[in-house]
Structures are given as structure tokens and as C-alpha cells.
Amino acid sequence: MPRTQPLPGERANDPIVLALPKGRILKEVMPLLRHAGIEPEPAFADEESRQLQFATNRPNLSIIRVRSFDVATFVAFGAAQLGVAGNDVIMEFQYSELYAPLDLKVGRCRISVAESAELAGKDDPSRWSHVRVATKYPEITRRHFAARGVQAECIKLNGALELAPKLGLCRRIVDLVSTGRTLKENGLVEVEKIADVTSRLIVNRAAMKTRPAEINGWVAKFGAAVEAYARAA
Amino acid sequence: MTEAETTALLPAGLRDILPPDAAFAADLVQRLRACFAGYGYDWVDPPLVEFEDTLFDGAGAAMTNETFRLMDPVSQRMMGLRTDITVQVARIATTRLANAPRPLRLAYAGDVLRVKGKQLRPERQFTQIGAELIGSESEAADVEAVTMAIDGLTRLGVAKLSVDLTVPALVPQVLAALEAPARAAAAVRAALDRKDAAGVDVAAAPLGQGATVFGLLLRAAGTAESALDKLARIPLPDAARREADRLGAVARALMAALPGTAFTIDPVESRGLEYHTGVSFTIFRAGVRGEIGLGGRYLAGRAGAARAQEPGTGFTLYLDPILRALPEPKHGERIYVPFGTPADAAAGLRENGHRTVAGLAPEANGDAPAEARRLGCTHLWHDGRIVPVAGTGP
């Protein structure tokens, strides 16, 4: 419906907002940001800070720090023009308004199906017609099982998935696995890998189309940073 | 009364459009219609519902999953609610108007219904306004479609438009020339769709030396000036080269014709252009999410039918993003005509183009200005004159 606020695109030199995920990935992304020449204001490093939006050394670039799933949403809706999100999140939402032009090669892990070690010993996956799965990724899970003709009933949880099989909520989970230690500690084994996951630079489609020079400039800077970082490592 | 009746909940993606937005939207459609008529486009109005087999014919096949279906109790055949009017206009052009002189210019507006809204555009019912130019293969036809779309939007006051040009057939033609196996082709297209340059290089590697063009095509995307330059230097198979040259010629003509519009070229774009073949375009407005409209070349008519398919081009604009790109409408001037005013006074006002609101009962305490204000009128008919009402006004 008709807008009530001024459109963000109305001023020249519009600010660009970069959405970053909180937590583990953030630490791995920061060196890339520095390579790309972005230095956030000091409050950004302060984990106690309640600030949500941060200025940088670039006058028209600011950073927001949100939950990893929300990065994709902010960028897809054009509230942020750039973001960093794992391809797990990108696959889950499949937003048509997102491009993922660059693999940042950080945050490496995989999204997998796991079940209790005891069940894995006697289970025959080819006989499944219906499974109940606890997951943060109901869409990926449903698609993955549907592709092999299995109906997946997904129980959406937001964390501590490993508890679900233990306490009898369901027998299988779909979750991110990096070292596999958490699974092991909870008596689970990885039975199937759905996809490899790394963090990607994501871009809002309309921003890419209406401001190609600026956006492609940032993609190139991040690309150079990924290469420089890979060489240094 | 049930709860549903009291809360008037509508199904997801459907909504009531209220004053003053509804009148404003109708006015926009009317102005676009006048604009298209000015270019010699005749109005057509296809039905809401058709038999499935005509609706899904040819270009319509892309939308089968998005269609609400119902059984026609009379003919016992399945019918579908239209999801896109272009397909219907193409059907009209190639059947009932098959003998009309070419090129045929038709314009339309109407609502379409889709099974699923997208997350970003949850509307399941929305208004399309568009025009189709059927039976011309010329570059001038491609230019006319874009020019008219931009002219129409500009006349509505939608400024700062940006047009992204592409040829959806380009990538499939290169893949065909390389005789790429289906699996490898899908991997290349997926990486192109993400705009993942490194991923494209990896996916294209098994296809040999010729496949390096995919990376070059992707990296060519950007402002039209730079993209045309890069595109001209990419070694392409013959069929793809013809498409690319065509795109270049159309882009240059458009840049000359529409200096106020930003043009970008993305040779590998395919989103939203499922049934398009030749030069296609998507219209964006900086700061409005998603696209305002899209269009391009397609083939009208049934593949394999006795009558050969005809080249067509055209575009569709979406009313809801246009409304988002424009300032909020205001209620216009309205004159409160107090109770007891002779009928011919109000009639005289309407005759002169004013809008009148008649008092149907004596005003409380005889306070006509208060009643005018309560009803949202901007003016009052008082002592044979139009007086503004304090505290209102557009």
C-alpha cells in the first residue's frame, strides 16, 4: 500500500547496510571485513553493547548485527543491501530476491541427518515412508526427504536439537555438524549429509540492479579479501 | 454471529482496498490505459476463468503450479483462474484476432490470482496492467515495449526508474552449443542464478574451454555502458552472438531514447522470465523492493499447431509496487451541502465538477461546519458560497 515514510532510494549517496550474523561466524568474518577496508566503530567489538546498528570508517556503510537466520530476511526485503549468511540459511528460505555472489570460505560445516547410534545400527532407510525429524531447517528437511519419496514431519526447534532424540521427542534430527563432537556426546551418529555449508556474501536483488557499480565494487573487494586471506592462511 | 464474521478475516494474500486507495488505484489504471491508447494499443478484456488446456497452452505452461482450478459443472471440464494475462492476450491474438493486420497492438488490465504469494510479495491477488505487440520481429518493437512502459510509469509520477535488460535464451544457447549434459548444465545455471562467479567457473570447468564464457557473461553484468563493451568482446557461438548483438542494439536505442532512465544489462538473468525467449527486461525503482514490472519477447500461439507461432513482445506492470512507489493519496475536495439546501444548488456544484456530500438530516445543534468536519468534507456550502472547513483540507 502507499508508503508513509520517505523511500530509502530517494537520496543520492544512499547508505549501504551490511547485515552480519551474531556469534561464531562473526569472528571468522571480521578479518575479511578488515581486508576489504571496513573498520567498524569500537562499540561493535563490545559484546555487552546493546547497540544494534554500527557506523564504520566508510561514511555511507553501516553494519547491523542480527541472528543468522534474520540476515537473509533483512537482505531479501531490502532493509540491508549486503549480508553474510551460510548457504544453510539461503537454502532454507530460497528467497528469490537474494543473490549469493561470493563464497567467503569461512564457517565451514555441513547440514546432516543424525539419529541415535542404537537406531542407526538396525535402520534401513530404503523402507522409510514417513519420518519425524526435529530441526531448525524444516524446508531443507522436507525437500531433502521428499526428493527420495519420504514424507518428513518436521518439528521446528531453535536450539539444543541433540536433546530431542534423547528425550523421545523424535528419533532423527537435521542439524549443522562441524566436528561431530556434540552429536557423539549425545549418543548420535551422522547418517546422511544433505549439503556442505560455508558463509556467503549475499546481495539484495533490487540493490544489485539499481546500484550495480557500488554493489559490484563491494563484491569485488570481498572477493579480493577472500583470496588474500586464503593465501595468508 | 461467529467470530469470523466479526473480525472479517480474509484468506492469506487477499485484502480489501479501502478509500482513498481504491479510487487512486483505479485512477492509475485509467491513466495507464490512456497512455497505451496513445501509442495505438487497443483494449481487450479476457475472462477471469478459462479451460485449463487453453490457459496452460504454450507460454502458460510455466504457471501450472500457481493456478487455482475448479471444475466446470456445465461442461465437466477443468477450468483454471488466470495467473497471468499475457498468456490470454497471446491466445486472443493468435485465435480470434488471427486475421487482424500485423503488428497487432493490444493492452489490458485486470486482476490475477495465484496459489502462493511470495514471501516478499504475499499478495495472491493483484492487478496487472500491460500491453502486447504481436507479429513483429523488429528491434523497434522491443524498443517500443520498454519505451511505453517507462513513459506510462513516468506519467504516473514514478521516477528514478531502472531497467535491467537480458536475453533469457542466451545461456541455454551456449549450453546447447557446448552439448552440455543436463546435470552439468543445471549446475552452471544454478551458479549463474546465484551470481556466484567462482561457483560458475567450477561448474563450467568440466564442459571444456568453451565454457569459460559463462564466467565472462556473469562478470559482464552491470551498467549498460560497461556491459555492452564487455559483451561485445566475449566469444559466443553464432546463435548466442546474434542474441547478444540484438540485446546491444536494443540497449543502445533505449539509452538514446530514454536519457532519464538507468539501464543495466545482466546477460545471465532468468528470474521471473520463465516463458521469455528474446530481449527481456525487468523494471526496478530504487528503494522499492522487488520489481515494478517486467516483459520481453515470447512466442505467441501453440507449438506444433497448424498456424505457426508468432513473435510477440510486451510487458506487464504490477499495481501494488507502483502504489508503494508513489506518495500516499489524499481524499480530494468534498463539499458538505447542509440539510434543506435546494437540490438544484448541489446539482449545480456537481455540474461544475465538484463533489458534494448531502446532509440527510438536520445537523446536530444546527452546526453545519461541525457536521462537515465529522464527515471529512473539506468545504461547506454556506449562503450560496463554497467555504473551506477549518481543520481539514487536502
Q: What is the DSSP string of chain A?
A: ---SS--GGGSTT--EEEEEESSHHHHHHHHHHHHTT--B-GGGG-TT----EEEBSSTTEEEEEE-HHHHHHHHHTTSSSEEEEEHHHHHHH--TTEEEEEE---S-EEEEEEEEHHHHHH--GGG-SEEEEEES-HHHHHHHHHHTT-EEEEEE-SS-TTHHHHTTS-SEEEEEESSSHHHHHTTEEEEEEEEEE-EEEEEEHHHHHHSHHHHHHHHHHHHHHHHHHHHH-
Res A142: pLDDT = 96
pLDDT band at B287 (very low <50, low <70, confident <90, very high): confident
Chain A positions in Cβ-Cβ contact with residue B21 (cut-off 8 Å):
1-2
Q: Which of B294, B311, B329 is the last residue of a domain?
A: B329
- Look up residue A1 and give its three cell numbers: 500500500
CB pair distance less than 8 Å for A213 and B196: no
Residues B145 and B176 grouped into a single domain: no
Res B6: pLDDT = 66
Q: How far is CA B390 from the centre of its chain?
A: 41
Chain A positions in Cβ-Cβ contact with residue B199 (cut-off 8 Å):
103
Find which of A210, A211, A215, A221 to mutate to test the B interface (most B CBs within 10 Å of its CB).
A210
In a domain, B217, yes or no: yes
Residues B254 and B292 grouped into a single domain: no
Strands B222-223 and B310-318 turn out to be unpaired
CB pair distance less than 8 Å for B119 and A10: no
Res A10: pLDDT = 39
**Between B393 and B204, where is the model more confident?**
B204
Domain count, chain B: 3
Asked if A99 and A209 touch (Cβ cutoff 8 Å), the reply is: no
Res A45: pLDDT = 84
CB pair distance less than 8 Å for A9 and B327: no
Q: In angstroms, what separates the C-alpha of A93 from chain B's closest C-alpha?
A: 9
For range B157-182, the mean pLDDT: 93
pLDDT band at B240 (very low <50, low <70, confident <90, very high): very high
CB pair distance less than 8 Å for A216 and B222: yes
Asked if residue B288 has pLDDT above 90, the reply is: no
Chain A positions in Cβ-Cβ contact with residue B291 (cut-off 8 Å):
206
Residues B100 and B21 grouped into a single domain: yes
Q: Which of A9, A96, A213 sits opposite B286 (nearest CB)?
A: A9
Q: What letter does residue B65 receive in the DSSP assignment?
A: G
Single-letter amino acid, residue A216: N
DSSP symbols for B229-240:
HHHHHS---HHH
Find which of B288, B291, B319, B331 to mutate to test the A interface (most A CBs within 10 Å of its CB).
B288
Residues B58 and B21 grouped into a single domain: yes
Q: Which of B220, B236, B265 is the last residue of a domain?
A: B265
Chains A–B, number of C-beta pairs less than 8 Å apart: 98
User: Which residue segment(s) compose the domain that B221 sits in?
Assistant: 169-265
Residues B151 and B35 grouped into a single domain: yes
Res B304: pLDDT = 74
Res A52: pLDDT = 87
Q: In angstroms, what separates the C-alpha of B78 from chain A's closest C-alpha?
A: 28
What length does chain A have? Answer: 233
Chain B positions in Cβ-Cβ contact with residue A78 (cut-off 8 Å):
287, 289
Mean model confidence pLDDT for chain B: 91
Q: How far is CA B143 from the centre of its chain?
A: 17
In a domain, B292, yes or no: yes
**Which of A5-19, A152-166, B50-64, B268-282 has the least mean pLDDT?**
A5-19
Strands B335-337 and B379-382 turn out to be parallel
Residues B218 and B97 grouped into a single domain: no
- B interface with A, Cβ–Cβ < 8 A, is 21, 24, 118-120, 160, 162, 164, 194-199, 221-223, 262, 264, 266, 271-272, 282, 284-291, 320, 323-329
Residues B356 and B378 grouped into a single domain: yes
Q: Which of B21, B194, B289 sits opposite A101 (nearest CB)?
A: B194
Residues B285 and B376 grouped into a single domain: no
**Between B58 and B327, where is the model more confident?**
B327
pLDDT tens column, A153-210: 999 999 889 999 989 899 999 999 999 999 999 999 999 999 999 999 999 999 999 9
Q: In angstroms, what separates the C-alpha of A141 from chain B's closest C-alpha?
A: 19
Res A83: pLDDT = 97
Res A13: pLDDT = 62
CB pair distance less than 8 Å for B120 and A77: yes
Q: Which of B213, B247, B265 is the last residue of a domain?
A: B265
- Cell 526485503 maps to which residue? A77
In a domain, B393, yes or no: no
CB pair distance less than 8 Å for A78 and B289: yes
Chain B positions in Cβ-Cβ contact with residue A213 (cut-off 8 Å):
222-223
- A interface with B, Cβ–Cβ < 8 A, is 1-4, 7-10, 14, 76-78, 93, 95-97, 99-103, 200, 203-206, 208-213, 216, 223
Res A2: pLDDT = 44
CB pair distance less than 8 Å for A212 and B264: yes
pLDDT tens column, B2-23: 565 668 889 989 999 999 999 9
Other beta carbons within 10 Å of B234: 19
**Which of A45-49, B85-89, B177-181, B289-293 has the least mean pLDDT?**
A45-49
Residues B240 and B358 grouped into a single domain: no
pLDDT tens column, B116-151: 887 777 889 999 999 999 999 999 999 999 999 999
* Residue of chain B minimizing CA distance to A99: B194
CB pair distance less than 8 Å for A9 and B323: no
Q: Which of A2, A102, A210 sits opposite B328 (nearest CB)?
A: A2
Residues B1 and B144 grouped into a single domain: yes
CB pair distance less than 8 Å for B120 and A223: no
Q: What CATH number corresponds to the domain at position B119?
A: 3.30.930.10
pLDDT band at B29 (very low <50, low <70, confident <90, very high): very high
In a domain, B119, yes or no: yes
Asked if residue B1 has pLDDT above 80, the reply is: no
CB pair distance less than 8 Å for B324 and A1: yes
In a domain, B69, yes or no: yes
Task: List, for chain A, all residue ranges whose pLDDT scores fall below the cut of 50.
Answer: 1-12
Residues B108 and B143 grouped into a single domain: yes
In a domain, B133, yes or no: yes
Q: CA–CA separation, B331 vs A107, rounded Å?
A: 54
In a domain, B223, yes or no: yes
| Omega within 30 of 0 (cis) for the link into B11 | no
Q: CA–CA separation, B269 vs B195, rounded Å?
A: 9
Q: Which domains does chain A have, with CATH numbers?
A: 16-107+198-232 (3.40.190.10), 109-196 (3.40.190.10)
Asked if residue B371 has pLDDT above 90, the reply is: yes
In a domain, B164, yes or no: no
Chain A positions in Cβ-Cβ contact with residue B120 (cut-off 8 Å):
76-77, 95-97
Residues B150 and B201 grouped into a single domain: no
**Which of B129-138, B238-247, B283-292 has the least mean pLDDT?**
B283-292
Single-letter amino acid, residue B389: V
